């Protein structure tokens, strides 16, 4: 009998499989298809302080072995998430959930995290620092070690629950950003967010996305994600949550060998709504195939 349980920032979960933010909504649509309580947890849709309609369409485009998206953080805002979405979610998911937070200033991050920290349903706060800093010339918080550390420090001071900082891969040295988050008090880091990309329509000779550029996700980014998880796991002592192109149980094992304590599954949920259910079902067989009795034993084994 294999052991699939892991401990993420002090919280034990049945398995390391976590649907990634923006690919699983608030869970209740997927709950119509299967019992989502089999998941380790899931990261719900990115939450901002105010409601956001998102970017104009078209905002999704297919590409070889992946997809581009420029959805633009569409969500109803933190107050409606708390008053409407979490009560609906509670009816279908009995475990602690990961709250994904997006902000355009440090005040935004602190306010949203403080509000969600008060919610019983929330077990972890996943803070997305790929957002543009409106007070810093529009540059993403996640591209500067100093900004990343400031966000981590401010949020940790305001909340009690574990804080996981979600890192952008669109940087020269992601390990430096991870170390800055650790220095700021973060309990963990998650990576990678999407890689910046674009496509052009040959007939119109214009970008396929109205936003011009978008985030590339899917199997195409998996080797990049494994490399970055490996680099960050070498650089920090806090847990790393790996993601980026994960599509199978074997991908999960590879991410964990690279240093991930838990693994998020993103774009694959949009290709196959049963992706996470299937990966969880296949995990014990994959573990036996490679002589793994406990997933805890392989975290960072390739380091």
Who's near 167: CB < 8 A, 6+ residues apart? 129, 130, 142, 148, 174, 177, 178, 181, 189, 190, 191, 192, 193, 228, 232
DSSP 161-205: S-EEEEPPS-SS-HHHHHHHHHHTT-SEEEE--PEEE--EETTTT
Burial bucket for residue 21 (CB in 10 Å: 0-12, 13-18, 19+): buried
Which listed residue (9, 113, 119, 131) is catalytic? 131
CA distance 113 to 260: 24
- Per the annotation, the verdict on 131 as an active-site residue is yes
CA distance 130 to 185: 18
Burial bucket for residue 65 (CB in 10 Å: 0-12, 13-18, 19+): middle
CA distance 101 to 49: 9
Phi-psi region of 195 (alpha: psi -120 to 50; beta: other; left: phi over 0): beta
Residues belonging to the active site: 131
């Amino acid at each position: 009998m294999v052991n699939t349980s892991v401990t993420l920032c002090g919280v034990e979960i049945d398995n390391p499989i976590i649907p990634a933010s923006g690919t699983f909504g608030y869970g209740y649509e997927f709950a119509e298809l299967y019992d989502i309580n089999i998941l380790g947890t899931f990261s719900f849709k990115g939450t901002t302080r105010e409601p956001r309609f998102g970017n104009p369409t078209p905002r999704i485009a297919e590409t070889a072995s992946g997809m581009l998206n420029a959805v633009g953080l569409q969500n109803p805002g933190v107050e409606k998430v708390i008053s409407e979405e979490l009560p609906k979610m509670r009816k279908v998911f009995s475990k602690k959930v990961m709250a994904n937070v997006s902000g355009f200033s440090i005040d935004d991050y602190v306010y949203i995290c403080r509000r969600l920290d008060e919610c019983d349903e929330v077990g972890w706060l996943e803070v997305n620092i790929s957002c543009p800093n409106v007070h810093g010339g529009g540059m993403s918080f996640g591209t500067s070690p100093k900004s990343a550390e400031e966000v981590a420090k401010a949020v940790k001071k305001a909340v009690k629950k574990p804080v996981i900082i979600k890192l952008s891969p669109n940087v020269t040295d992601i390990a430096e950003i991870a170390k800055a988050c650790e220095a700021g008090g973060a309990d963990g880091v998650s990576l990678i967010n999407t890689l910046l990309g674009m496509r052009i329509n040959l007939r119109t000779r214009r970008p396929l996305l109205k936003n011009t550029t978008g985030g590339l996700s899917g199997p195409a980014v998996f080797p990049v994600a494994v490399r970055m998880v490996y680099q960050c796991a070498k650089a920090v002592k806090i847990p790393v949550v790996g993601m980026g192109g994960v599509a199978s149980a074997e991908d999960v094992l590879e991410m964990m060998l690279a240093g991930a304590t838990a693994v998020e599954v993103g774009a694959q949920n949009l290709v196959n709504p049963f992706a996470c259910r299937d990966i969880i079902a296949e995990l014990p067989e994959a573990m036996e195939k490679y002589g793994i009795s406990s997933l805890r034993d392989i975290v960072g084994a390739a380091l």
